[in-house]
Amino acid sequence: MIDAAVYRELGLSDEEYQHILKALGREPTPTELAMFSVEWSEHCGYPRSRPVLGLLPKEGKYRSRAKGEDSGGIEVAPGLLCLFKMESHNHPSQVEPRQGAATGIGGIIRDIFTMGARPIALMDALRFGSLSSPHARYLLAGVVDGIQFYGNCLGVPTVGGEIEFNDCYRGNCLVNVMALGLVEEKKIASAAARGKGNPVLVVGNSTGRDGIGGASILASHEFGVDEEKRPTVQIGDPFTEKCLIEACLEALETGAVVALKDMGAAGLTCTTSEMSAAGGVGMDIELQRVPRREEGMEPWEMMMSESQERMLVVAEKGREEEVIGVFRKWGLNAAIVGEVTDDGFLTIRDNGKIVARVKASVLADPPTYHLPAQEPGYLPSLQQADLSSLPEPKDLAEVLMALLASPNIASKKWAYRQYDHMVQTNTVVLPGEADAAVLRIKGYKEGIGITTDGNGRYCYLDPYLGAQLVVAEAARNLVCVGADPAGVTDCLNFGNPEKPDRFWQFRRCVEGIAEACRQLEVAVVSGNVSFYNEGPETAVYPTPEIGMVGVLKEVSRHCTMGFKRPGEAIFLLGESAGQLGGSEYLKVWHNQEAGRPASLDWELEKGVQAACLEMVQKGLLSSAHDCSPGGLAVTLAECCIAGGIGAEISLPDAEGTRADAYLFGESPSRIVISCPPENADAILEIIGRHAIPCQEIGRTTGDMFSIRLTDKHIRLSVSKMAQAYYNSLPATME
């Protein structure tokens, strides 16, 4: 009889252990118990989130591929798919930031090329505690170093992302990474094993003890006080992964590969069980044939190891040497470790002795849970907070300078200058130049726009509305560069789902994402759930990260956010005034996180997006920039800073609206655009056709930025604003 302490230590509940007993009809062996613990973990099997994830739409206006494989995608040109996915490496990065982030990059890249796609770009979305904390600065420096180390060595450009800071992430940072790749639809690789007698190969790196229990222990539980988790952090080798990319793509070209899958979370357990279940077959595996770099590894260690840069391959019988030859040419291990069977069982042997025998379908399909959900007790008081009584600042220029230097708004150039964003020579719009990255597709006129967006504060104050606002902002970022929003991947970061208030936040956020994606007609093609993001003090704010991909009809027709030359007209698409609830201004200037985020009118949002997209596609605009954190004043200042051009702005009276709300409040459905004066009539015609609010608010000028609002006036030099914007983060990190 297995002691309850043993399976609980592996992360299994009493209820799950009873499921295992029923499924097997006997007690599990130690190896089987280990296999169930990783494959039934939340990180791998999604037993607590799967019932809710079914709400997300899988189809949209672009033809999509979202079949539950390692990644999904959309058609960006006839017969050409862009595959993309976002995943988290939060817990490992909190423990060991450099290796945690590096292996996160390696894992997400493998999810792309395992389907036959060549990786072309990376993005990252990062969250840390306040930078006043030395530990937060240590984590930020380590994570950025890990991303640049792995991505730069690999030769895949990191073209964008975002970094934000809040004390809620102090005990559990968030490291979400997104990768994209391109593949001809006819060349997509399968992860479903098939063909009785076909050989099964482990290729790539050797297996060691690093990462054991990472999925079941590290990623599926809260951090406790003084817990030692370092042994579960994997060690990455980007040079091996670079060879693995080329070897896998070359092996697929031979036509001798039946199925291929990344050996990431849950390692050999995940690949053998999921590939078998997907194909309705079984596998017979001999562990002594698996290349290893450590002596004396137990069978359960072999099955749980999350050593990096490994893949499982099913080859055509009789052509295995052809496949082995490709991997050995690239200096990689390639060992036949077993064969496909037709009995549906996953049989694991160690020196011929059976140490595990489980139905693959049972292992790959964990029981699901419908968890209780309850609205958090903090919400009513925060949402009903009276913000009208807050004192208005006397010096609005001082507020603007404080916002431009605040960590969440200030330039992240300190981070992205460490990334190689030009490798592969596909990057058309560089980090910091626009609201989204733009990539060319060699040999095609089309291009790809990419963005990541998240706002934990909005979702903390209203999960349903906040999640919709995040999706809407991601889409606005894409239309600002001329990309039509086409598909979504998400990374859902939440606290312990077994606490009803945390699960309520999760469910409401998913419902919000689903509604927003339906409104915008974009499919959710892939994603990841990261639960248990909390330490002994607090949980992270509910932080759904949205990675969105858009299609440019002609990559040459794109737009950036910087003003281009003096004398151009500046327009504001959408309503003028913002709201204080949940704003960055409220946090920076008044040290409050309260109120409701601004409401979202979907007809207005879609109209503003459609109008802006049409203007960019017709080449009418010099610049376009979404109004987001910091409000209208910060948006205009960023346009000046990015272009090195000033602006004279005169805003219409806003009866009953506070000046700070007007200038620094946040509301969706707003985009600042600029254009040559001769294009103004064409722009007004498009605005009239889409029936959206719009006003001309000023002109670009020389080197000064000026805003007039009735009797209020801000006047600052562009160089002074740029100094605050660009120097804040480097000064903090020195």
pLDDT digits (tens, 9 = 90+) for 542-598: 999 999 999 999 999 999 999 999 999 999 999 887 899 999 999 999 999 999 999
Q: Are strands 484-493 and 523-530 parallel, antiparallel or unpaired?
A: parallel
Please identify which residue in the block is written with the tokens 């079949």: 67
- By CB atoms closer than 10 A (0-12, 13-18, 19+), residue 734 is exposed
Q: Are strands 353-359 and 345-350 parallel, antiparallel or unpaired?
A: antiparallel
pLDDT digits (tens, 9 = 90+) for 284-309: 999 999 999 888 999 999 999 988 89
As a whole number, mean pLDDT of residues 635-645 equals 98
Distance CA 120, CA 310 (A): 20
Cβ pair 679, 696 in contact under 8 A: no
Q: How confident is the model at residue 1 (pLDDT cuts 50, 70, 90)?
A: low
Residue 20 corresponds to which tokens in the numbers above? 């295992």
Q: Is the dihedral of CA 620, 623, 627, 632 positive or negative?
A: negative
Give the model's pLDDT for residue 536: 81
As a whole number, mean pLDDT of residues 118-147 equals 97
As a whole number, mean pLDDT of residues 188-199 equals 96
Task: Identify residue 663 by its one-letter amino acid code.
Answer: L
Active-site option among 43, 221, 558, 690: 43
Sheet order of strands, 569-573 included: 623-626, 671-675, 569-573, 694-700, 647-651, 704-709, 712-717
DSSP per-residue letters across 231-245: GG-----HHHHHHHH
DSSP per-residue letters across 664-708: H-B-SS-EEEEE-GGGHHHHHHHHHHHT--EEEEEEE-SSEEEEE
Indicate whether 115 pLDDT > 90. yes
As a whole number, mean pLDDT of residues 250-271 equals 93
DSSP per-residue letters across 374-422: ---TTHHHHHT---TTSPPPS-HHHHHHHHHHSTTTS--HHHHTTS--S
Sheet order of strands, 437-440 included: 427-429, 437-440, 447-453, 543-552, 484-493, 523-530
Distance CA 312, CA 257 (A): 11
Number of H helices, E strands in the chain: 25, 26
As a whole number, mean pLDDT of residues 84-106 equals 94
Cβ pair 691, 645 in contact under 8 A: no
Q: How confident is the model at residue 2 (pLDDT cuts 50, 70, 90)?
A: confident
Please identify which residue in the block is written with the tokens 């950036």: 560
Domains of the chain (ranges; CATH) run 30-55+189-366 (3.90.650.10), 389-424+559-734 (3.90.650.10)
Please identify which residue in the block is written with the tokens 């990180």: 43
- Average of per-residue pLDDT values in the chain: 93
Task: Identify residue 29 by its one-letter amino acid code.
Answer: T
Q: How confident is the model at residue 504 (pLDDT cuts 50, 70, 90)?
A: very high
Q: Which is nearest to 545 in space by CA: 528, 563, 569, 558?
A: 528
Q: What is the pTM of this model?
A: 0.95
Distance CA 483, CA 486 (A): 9
Q: Which residues touch 101 (CB under 8 Å, ≥6 apart)?
A: 89, 93, 124, 142, 143, 144, 145, 146, 147, 150, 175, 177
- State the first-to-last Cα distance of the chain, in angstroms, to the nearest integer: 57
Distance CA 636, CA 625 (A): 8
As a whole number, mean pLDDT of residues 145-169 equals 96
Cα 64 to chain center, whole Å? 18
As a whole number, mean pLDDT of residues 187-202 equals 96
Q: Give the side-chain half-sphere CA count within 13 A for 310.
A: 32
Q: How confident is the model at residue 711 (pLDDT cuts 50, 70, 90)?
A: confident
Cβ pair 204, 113 in contact under 8 A: no
Distances from the Cα of 613 to the Cα of 98, 471, 482, 625, 672, angstroms = 39, 17, 5, 12, 13
Give the model's pLDDT for residue 227: 42
What would you report as the CA-atom Rg of the chain, rounded to the nearest whole angstrom? Answer: 26
Q: What percent of the chain has pLDDT over 70?
A: 97
Distance CA 538, CA 540 (A): 7
Distance CA 419, CA 258 (A): 36
DSSP per-residue letters across 513-563: HHHHHHHHT-EEEEEEEE---B-SS-BPPPEEEEEEEEEESSTTS---SS-
DSSP state of 124: E
Is 487 in a helix, a strand, or coil?
strand
Give the model's pLDDT for residue 219: 45
CB atoms within 10 A of CB 422: 11
For residue 89, indicate whether it is catalytic. Answer: yes
Active-site option among 19, 89, 421, 625: 89
Indicate whether 220 pLDDT > 50. no
Give the model's pLDDT for residue 232: 54
Distance CA 687, CA 453 (A): 27
Is 440 in a helix, a strand, or coil?
strand
As a whole number, mean pLDDT of residues 242-256 equals 97
Residue 318 corresponds to which tokens in the numbers above? 């009789």
Q: Are strands 199-204 and 333-341 parallel, antiparallel or unpaired?
A: antiparallel
